Amino acid sequence: MRTILLLLSSALSATGAFAQNAHVDRIEIVEYGLYDLKTIKKVDSPSIASGLLVVTEGSLMKQTTTIPAKLGVAFGYTVKIHGSPEGGTVTVRDINIVPEPGLHNPKTGHVVYREEATYTRKIGETFRSDYQLSYDWTLVPGKWVFQLWIDNRKMAEQIFTLVKD
């Protein structure tokens, strides 16, 4: 039994060392703009103004950085992680910075100027980060800044300008 535990411990240590050796050279913005999205699931997330992280699938409708501030509009970017080893896992911090006066959630009374989500991605993977304007209080005109961070390094940034008609 002790040998099995030692072997298991060694295997786990090797796996941990492999994951820690993953290195991101850059995150490439592949596309950005307006997306047509379909909601897959919603996950409770207190760091998001609405309290929900919405998982979606969809496709780019129009490449642009000018976004109409209208309910139902979805915008964001698709990125690819470059580094080594291919398939190695990294922790990504996905940050959205919202302009003044921020997002005022009337249900909670909270005001949010920055939303942050953290998740694991694989080197070589392409994925999308997006935001859907789902409530009247999310229709905040101005510059919205989307960033992706690995550790303390900002690896990608895209600025969108929300405009009212």
Does the pLDDT value for residue 95 go beyond 90? yes
For residue 6, is it within any domain?
no
Rg (CA), the chain: 19
What average pLDDT does the structure give for the chain? 85
The CATH number of whichever domain residue 158 belongs to comes to 2.60.40.2390
pLDDT at position 159, please? Answer: 98
pLDDT at position 48, please? Answer: 62
Q: Which amino acid is at 29?
A: I
102: containing domain: 24-163
pTM metric for this prediction:
0.78
pLDDT tens string 28-59: 999 999 999 876 666 666 656 655 556 667 89
Confidence of residue 12 (pLDDT cuts 50, 70, 90): very low
Structure tokens at 135: 């409530």
For residue 18, is it within any domain?
no
Q: How many domains does the chain have?
A: 1
- Our CA angle for 28, 129, 89, nearest 5°, is 65
Phi, psi of 51 (to 5 degrees): 90, 0
For residue 11, is it within any domain?
no
For residue 67, is it within any domain?
yes
For residue 108, is it within any domain?
yes
- Our CA angle for 26, 27, 31, nearest 5°, is 145
> Distance between CA 81 and CA 119 in Å, rounded?
13
Mean pLDDT over 147-165 rounds to 96
pLDDT at position 165, please? Answer: 78
For residue 54, is it within any domain?
yes
Structure tokens at 91: 């922790």
> Distance between CA 123 and CA 64 in Å, rounded?
27
Does the pLDDT value for residue 14 go beyond 70? no
Task: Decide if 22 contacts 86 (C-beta within 8 A).
Answer: no
pLDDT tens string 101-147: 999 999 989 999 999 999 999 999 999 999 999 999 999 999 999 99
Task: Decide if 59 contacts 35 (C-beta within 8 A).
Answer: yes
